[in-house]
């Protein structure tokens, strides 16, 4: 692939600490200027600057490459300048004029190890769901739910930020360095997209990259009941929760619902995501995708403001606290269809968790409000399939009069009876989903038995 060949050239977009001096290096040792590295190769480097520098000027450098204690001392000569008027900055390109051959070889070897796109190619080659970058370990993939180690050198301190910082703008870098947490998404090619979580662990920057399919699957392809999901999407108001553990495909299901609405109804759909994973083009509907941190400050604040943007459907990436849930319920009560995800091990636990966002003294009021606006809860889990991939098992709770009464009264233990007897309404339990998958030969008896036992 031509784009892969281009990205595997010796020049890499990496961010490493660089100090520069003009004139005699020793005389200016304490007056160094920090350069923001754009990219580097065996022959030179480029850096960002807010001031222009004359062509042909020579600078002394100290470059701090990951995996090396002492800096690489060398000299560069400025050979090209590109102006970026909108950002009021310049890209200064230079070539090495004085550099030790061993240092140059170390740079080449380091760039080979910090080739992010080679790692992403491994993700795609293995159809992995996640890439884990951990200092002191070789990169690891999650393939069909299992961890696989890539047979390359262990990651050194500084390599992860060197690879990922070039993907960030300055606001994102500032946010990460202040909060030590950052989520973002990027598309290395037209046909690929990755969600990234950067975090600190034992004093090191580390990252997890989630492989996001760029095509949105429909309900049948996902293994969800088409008629029930279509009925959810046809609602004009109410709250729909998609429950599951991390990595269970909740965001994929929510995006499938948005895609269904977009293709079949003339509505205004506003999504609030952290970050935007699946990018959607407006078809019958108008779809607006807002990203946390870039387009809005918080889920709760975005939900309040969204009501003034004439929405019909509001999708919230995740309900994490009581403030966001309150805003979602208010939106559902005022004539909007609200779709969101919540971390929970089954449908009934999702209701308990939502109520437990609030202090016990507010429980009655929250249960009453939730019972009046909730339309349904879908729980899902990805299981190993007999074909070698993963298959979706799910549980569907549709809110009827009996369930509303149980929610108001907080009688969670009795809800399973309504769920088991509600098949005529389209409800089904996780156990029945497991039996159906086993009957169709999609999961083994061992997998079914393991999860039935866990469910009980």
Q: Are residues 188 and 310 in the same domain?
A: no
Q: Are residues 37 and 65 in the same domain?
A: yes
Q: How far apart are CA 272 and CA 289, in angstroms?
A: 6
70, 101, 132 - which closes a domain: 101
Q: How far apart are CA 417 and CA 78, in angstroms?
A: 75
Look at the chain and report how many structural domains it folds into. Answer: 3
73, 101, 129 - which closes a domain: 101
CA angle 176-181-183, nearest 5°?
90
Query: Is the CB of residue 232 less than 8 Å from the CB of residue 240?
Result: yes
Q: Are residues 24 and 148 in the same domain?
A: no
Q: How far apart are CA 338 and CA 375, in angstroms?
A: 10
> What's the CATH number where 40 sits?
2.40.10.220
CA dist list (Å): 37 to 19, 68, 76, 92, 327: 10, 18, 13, 10, 43
Q: Are residues 353 and 434 in the same domain?
A: yes
Q: Are residues 139 and 256 in the same domain?
A: no
Predicted local distance difference test score (pLDDT) of residue 232: 97
223 token code pair = 């293994």
185 token code pair = 């998404």
37 token code pair = 């590295």
> What's the CATH number where 133 sits?
3.30.450.90
Q: Are residues 273 and 178 in the same domain?
A: no
> In which domain, by residue range, is 62 found?
11-101
Q: Are residues 203 and 274 in the same domain?
A: no
Predicted local distance difference test score (pLDDT) of residue 29: 53
> What's the CATH number where 254 sits?
3.40.50.300
Range 226-241 burial, b when 16+ CB lie within 10 A, else e: eebbeebbebebbbbb
Predicted local distance difference test score (pLDDT) of residue 145: 87
- Domain assignment of residue 3, yes or no: no
Q: Are residues 424 and 347 in the same domain?
A: yes
Q: Are residues 97 and 65 in the same domain?
A: yes
184, 212, 240 - which closes a domain: 212
- One digit per residue, pLDDT tens: the chain, 456 residues? 333 434 344 678 999 999 998 865 554 555 688 999 999 999 999 999 988 888 999 999 999 999 898 999 999 999 999 988 777 889 999 999 999 999 999 999 999 999 999 999 999 999 999 999 999 999 999 998 899 999 999 999 999 999 999 999 888 999 999 999 999 999 999 889 999 999 999 999 999 999 998 889 999 999 999 999 999 999 999 999 999 998 899 999 999 999 999 999 999 999 999 889 998 999 999 999 999 888 988 888 888 899 999 999 999 999 999 999 999 999 999 999 999 999 999 999 999 999 999 999 999 999 999 999 999 999 999 999 999 889 999 999 999 999 999 999 999 999 999 999 999 999 999 999 999 999 999 999 999 999 986 654
Nearest partner of 429 among 450, 456, 402, 404, judged by Cα: 456
Length of the chain as a residue count: 456
Predicted local distance difference test score (pLDDT) of residue 322: 93
Predicted local distance difference test score (pLDDT) of residue 8: 40
């Amino acid at each position: 692939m031509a784009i892969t060949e281009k990205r595997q050239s010796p020049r890499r977009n990496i961010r490493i600490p660089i100090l520069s001096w003009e004139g005699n290096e020793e005389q200016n040792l304490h007056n160094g200027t920090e350069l923001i590295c754009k990219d580097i190769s065996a022959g030179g480097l480029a850096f960002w600057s807010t001031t222009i520098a004359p062509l042909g000027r020579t600078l002394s450098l100290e470059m701090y490459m990951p995996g090396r204690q002492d800096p690489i001392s060398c000299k560069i000569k400025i050979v090209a300048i590109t102006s970026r008027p909108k950002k009021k900055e310049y890209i200064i390109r230079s070539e090495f004029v004085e550099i030790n051959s061993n240092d140059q070889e170390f740079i080449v070897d380091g760039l080979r190890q910090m080739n992010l796109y080679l790692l992403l190619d491994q993700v795609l080659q293995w159809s992995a769901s996640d890439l884990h970058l951990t200092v002191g370990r070789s990169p690891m993939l999650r393939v069909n739910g299992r961890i696989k180690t890539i047979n390359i050198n262990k990651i050194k301190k500084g390599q992860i930020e060197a690879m990922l910082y070039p993907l960030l703008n300055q606001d994102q870098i500032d946010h990460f360095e202040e909060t030590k947490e950052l989520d973002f998404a990027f598309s290395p090619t037209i046909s690929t997209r990755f969600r990234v979580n950067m975090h600190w662990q034992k004093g090191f920057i580390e990252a997890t990259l989630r492989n996001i399919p760029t095509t949105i699957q429909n309900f049948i392809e996902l293994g969800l009941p088409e008629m029930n999901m279509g009925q959810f999407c046809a609602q004009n108001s109410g709250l729909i929760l998609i429950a599951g553990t991390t990595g269970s495909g909740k965001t994929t299901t929510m995006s499938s619902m948005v895609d269904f609405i977009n293709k079949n109804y003339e509505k205004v759909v506003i999504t609030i995501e952290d970050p935007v994973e699946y990018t959607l083009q407006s078809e019958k509907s108008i779809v607006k995708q807002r990203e946390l941190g870039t387009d809005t400050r918080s889920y709760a604040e975005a939900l309040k403001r969204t009501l003034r943007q004439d929405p019909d459907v509001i999708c919230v990436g995740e309900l994490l606290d009581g403030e966001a849930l309150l805003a979602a319920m208010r939106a559902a009560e005022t004539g909007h269809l609200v779709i969101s995800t919540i971390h929970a091990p089954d449908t009934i636990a999702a209701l308990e968790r939502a109520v437990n966002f609030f202090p016990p003294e507010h429980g009655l009021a929250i249960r009453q409000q939730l019972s009046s606006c909730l339309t349904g809860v879908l729980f899902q889990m990805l299981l190993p399939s007999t074909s070698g991939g993963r298959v979706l098992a799910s549980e569907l709770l549709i809110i009827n009069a009996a369930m509303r009464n149980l929610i108001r009264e907080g009688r969670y233990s009795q809800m399973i009876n309504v769920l088991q007897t509600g098949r005529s309404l389209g409800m089904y339990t996780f156990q029945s989903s497991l039996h159906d998958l086993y009957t169709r030969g999609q999961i083994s008896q061992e997998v079914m038995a393991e999860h039935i036992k866990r469910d009980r």
